[in-house]
Structure 1
């Protein structure tokens, strides 16, 4: 396949994955709502004009033109006006008008016999289950994709097979022409080691892993040791003398460590001048939850610092500043990354597919965490409203006061509109930035 076709396939793969994730997120709301006998009038994927819909029982299922989300419509999302028990306004203020219009829309499809099927009459715990159903579904999908990634494909792990042999010894930050007289052969090149050699023993000890071999090499500076490799099915023995060389100190995140002043760290260790081939090694089921937890922790960090990170994206989009590769990106950016991964013909197909599966896992965790932000119109905002209702009722009961009834979350609609406007603005900014200055993950 051509790189262009592979790029398109990568974009389509992730686009379908996102669409399915959104659809199942809404199923997470739909199923408990129906189990609790709430009448659900619509289940829609996307926003804007309806492209296709079909009614099944009392619910209309459909797809809309703008595939940037979805929603489930339940009757009676907001309680009637407390003062008169209706949906009519008790005043003519702007905020009151917004709340009244929302109540009217929530009750316009409430018919005879639906009095006990409205959302606002649900007990607090049922409201929370309905609203947490969407994020819970994304969490489950994230776990499933993580399980497929780790147990089905595996983790890229360094093997004991040599990928490359450096010809010249080069100090950190310097370059040397391999054909010049300044090129001093590395111990590996001098010993005749070659790419695709598999190292089987070092200094008389059997080599079982690359990390083990690395530690032995680092500790053997200046010492001549025997080394055996498997080459084209035959054992080949020789000797090598690792040289003392300043090598980068790597952190737990896989990046070169720095000190408090931001200076890159190096240490003097034994050096041969070889690199390792990598292979996908399937992991046990016990590795899924820790990996998922780390993914969620990283996503939560991005969400927690979202305002500052969005400001950083804005600065980069309208200046010469580079984009933060760990910052937020839009669906356009995600599609671009997926396309670039799929088009990497030098990378084995299995590794490319594994990367795309991992991308979908991260996206689902991001959807779950983001929707748990306790602000309307996000699911977390509805959960916060239900929790407030529960606390208010509990306090009233302890004080011997009448039940205050369902919390009128429609009163928070002005905040909802502000948050919705900010979310739309953020989405537009991220899409613009991903077009004019996309994140460069692959150099």
Structure 2
């Protein structure tokens, strides 16, 4: 038996405890505060959720014909949007690279200390290719979403004496701690390298806030549609109340006023192109008595790219971004443990992670960089 090391596998944003595409796209999209504000501070894009998170729950009872396995597979995967083959391969490639780096950390920490290693595998399942060097079997397996470093300590086929001083179990505890923690250290270094590459190649996307609330979408036949509100409009004021620059409360401020005024005219000051004018909208009434106008709302921000002027600025930007992401990951872990009963069912495996990565890959290369960095830090 071998010892294996492998990584554990309307307007409100989703919860950080929900490892879903909605959460990641929200986290990775138009979501950095101005540069001078973000070093060593929590991102303003991690708003406190005001509605239940959107997630792919594993608690829903599946109803499927027991004789039709194809129907069941289609049903089971229906919550995941994998998109194109190219985006799936990109996401799978990112996950595989992260796992290889993680296992390489364990392997190098053992090998450089003279600890016996018997196997290094990328993937799991049947062996596709292998070779031996320095008493180590290196192999590539059929399914790349995993990997392991094998130690001969408890291998019944090993001819190494049980009291060999270079077996992992016979080494001092500090040596073993170094081997066990080296995978995490390797992923941390890899995360910084990914961010540094992003800074040098495409720059960091940074949000510039503007006054008002953006209307990305208007539902057909809704109150907003009937009264002349269009996608792309910016609401600058509502009932004479001027809206400030974007922030966590600006969208909910508009939503609250609309909810409190069912069937009563609400006056919106709207910016469309270079023109400002007023529109009167009469919210429809929900079954619970609150008002609704049938629009999607989002903060009014413009995305710019932060690019370094020299290599020293690149290191500076990458370091600040690294610490910002690290803070977010630690904060998410804290929230997960504090709300474990709600969070436990939302932890996702490789299939869900690839689905998230594929959706991010289709959206923007910036998101793919940060997706990779976040995965490294989560390990």
Matched, 1:209 2:246: yes
Question: Which residue in the other structure is 1:40 paired with?
Answer: 117
2:276 is aligned with 1:236? yes
Q: If the length of structure 2 is used for normalisation, what is the TM-score? A: 0.52
Structure showing greater Rg:
1
Distance change in 2, residues 1:224/1:162 (3 Å): closer
Give the alignment's TM-score, normalised by structure 1: 0.46
List gaps (5 residues or longer) in structure 1.
79-101, 168-177, 179-184, 248-265, 310-325, 369-443
The one of 288, 297, 310 equivalent to 1:276 is: 297
What is the correspondence of 1:66-215 to structure 2 with a 5 Å cutoff?
66-67=143-144, 69-74=146-151, 77=153, 102=155, 105=158, 107=160, 116-138=165-187, 152=204, 160-166=213-219, 178=221, 186=223, 189-190=226-227, 192-202=228-238, 203=240, 205=242, 207-209=244-246, 211-212=249-250, 214-215=252-253
Size of the alignment, in residue pairs?
Answer: 271
Closer/same/farther in 2, CA of residues 277 and 298 from structure 1, 3 Å limit: closer
For structure 2, the residue ranges without an aligned partner over 5 or more in a row are: 1-80, 307-319
Q: CA RMSD in A?
A: 5.0
Greater RCO (CA < 8 Å, at least 6 residues apart): 2
Q: Give the drift of 1:338.
A: 5.1
Distance 1:298 1:58, change over 3 A: farther
Q: Secondary structure at the match of 1:107?
A: coil
* C-alpha contact 1:143 1:288 (8 A) present in aligned 2: no
- What is the Cα deviation at residue 275 of structure 1? 2.5
SS of equivalent residue, structure 2 residue 120: strand
1:29: Cα distance to partner? 0.8
1:235 positional shift: 1.4
Alignment deviations for residues 202-244 of structure 1 (CA, whole Å, 9 cap, x no partner): 5263542274254156347457646141x23x21312436658
Deviation for aligned residue 1:197:
2.1
1:288 aligns with 2:325: yes
